[in-house]
Amino acid sequence: MTKLRGTGFAAVNYPTGMHLGGDPTQSLVHATTSGNFVVTMSSVDLGQGLKTILAQIAAEALGVPYDTVIVDTGDTDTGPHCTGTFASRTTHRAGNAVIMAAEEARKVMLEVAAEKLEVGVEDLETDGLGNIHVKGVEDKAISVAETAGAAHFELGRTISGRGIYLKPPSPMDPETGESDPDSTQAHACTVAEVEVDTETGDVQVLAIKSAYEVGQQVNPELVKGQIVGGAWMGIGHALQETTAPYYPAIDHAPRDFQTYQMPGAVDMPEVECEVLEIASRNGPFGAKGVGEMVTNSPIPAIVNAINNALGVRITQIPVTPEVVLRALDEKAAGGG
């Protein structure tokens, strides 16, 4: 029995969103009577933290505290439209829509505050702590709560805003094949280290080390959560997970968690990552999408590491023990 080690890397250029024949996300923002802000969306938080970052983005654009923003993504039947949570698109699309809606609501908020303070709108600024004051005059101020109350009950204004981000359709040029498929691109390089047991064909991933360029991070802890989770998913796709192990035949297709194998806690290697921030031109505060890329770059890196360890050229996933042993047999027979 021999255990061989190898190192492989992969670099990817990853699109944020697709045009999909026109890909919009809408947002509605309004102030409650007490000066909280509700951001109404149909965009879905799968646990990646979308509601958190949309509240951050809304708070930043409105100039109000984060904890006064409520993100309501409750009902895709009645909420403003969102195409969905996929294609690493939602931070970009929904974030931009929220900024647009928040800016319109902020404009009304400042108009109401200006009327109450009897000053010009252009003289006002928010402190991000729940107050609006005259620039350079700390004590000539009104709270956001009082402003919202005045809008509702004295002035008959609605502090609200509408936002949409649309990636327009981009039909393919029939001559050149060109189109404009995405909104911005993130980048990655992953290095994987593996150990392959040449008797059993088992592959152990020893380390996943990556650099990810994700534009401006909205929430670094949530970006890290995507990266570590993505590394695990990448290991699963590279080594174990498939619904058709003998594709295109569907023989031996797994039907449950006993036969659909995934890596467990014991299979997780060290995951290291550097995050680089190069702001995108059109993302919310310069953000790009990070969700899918972090699953994709580990996969070819791991397969390359296996090839490096064994001196073979496997080009399929998942690289199950059977695939490893067949590649070794082929190499021994002189075909590798």
- In eight-state DSSP terms, residue 72 is E
Residue pair 22/83 in contact (Cβ under 8 Å)? The answer is no
The residue within the footprint of another protein, chosen from 55, 186, 271, 306 (CB under 8 A), is: 271
CB 205 within 8 A of CB 272: no
332 near another protein (CB under 8 A):
no
Catalytic residue (one of 178, 292, 322, 330): 292
- CB-nearer residue toward another protein: 49 or 289: 49
Work out how close the CB of 67 gets to another protein at its nearest, in angstroms, rounded to a whole number. Answer: 15
In the bound complex, what is the minimum distance in angstroms from residue 8's beta carbon to another protein?
20
Q: Which is nearer to another protein, 48 or 147 (CB)?
A: 48
Residue type, 42: S
Measured from the CB of residue 220, what is the shortest distance to another protein in angstroms?
Answer: 11
Please check whether residue 89 is in contact with residue 283, taking contact to mean a CB–CB distance below 8 angstroms: no
The site for another protein, by CB under 8 A, has a size of 23
Could you tell me the smallest distance in angstroms from the CB atom of residue 280 to another protein?
A: 24
Active site includes 292?
yes
Among 268, 275, 317, 325, binds another protein (CB under 8 A): 268
Site string for another protein, 217-256 (x = CB under 8 A): ----xx-xx--xxxxxx----------------------x
Tokens, residue 206: 């020893």
> What value, to the nearest 5°, has the Cα angle with vertex 156 and ends 110 and 159?
40
Sign for the pseudo-dihedral over CA of 144, 145, 147, 152: positive
What residues have CB less than 8 Å from 105, skipping those under 6 apart? 29, 30, 31, 37, 62, 159, 160, 161
CB-wise, 24 or 229, nearer to another protein? Answer: 229
- Beta carbon of residue 261, minimum distance to another protein (angstroms, whole number): 11
Instruction: Give dist(CA 291, CA 53) in Å, integer.
Output: 14
Q: What is the distance between the alpha carbons of residues 26 and 43, in angstroms, rounded to a whole number?
A: 9
Distance, CA of 12 to chain centre: 16
Comparing CB distances to another protein, the nearer of 150 and 275 is 275
Residue from 77, 122, 257, 335 touching another protein (CB under 8 A): that is 257
- CA 312 to chain centroid: 35
Binding to another protein by CB under 8 A, coded x per residue (else -) over 26-55, reads --------------------xxxx------
Residue 148 or 233 with smaller CB distance to another protein: 233
Q: Which is nearer to another protein, 159 or 271 (CB)?
A: 271
Under the phi-then-psi rule, with left for phi > 0, alpha for psi from -120 to 50, and beta for the rest, what region is 21? left
Rounded Cα distance, 25 and 98, in Å:
9
* Residues carrying an active site annotation: 292
Site residues, another protein (CB under 8 A): 46-49, 221-222, 224-225, 228-233, 256-258, 262, 264-266, 268, 271
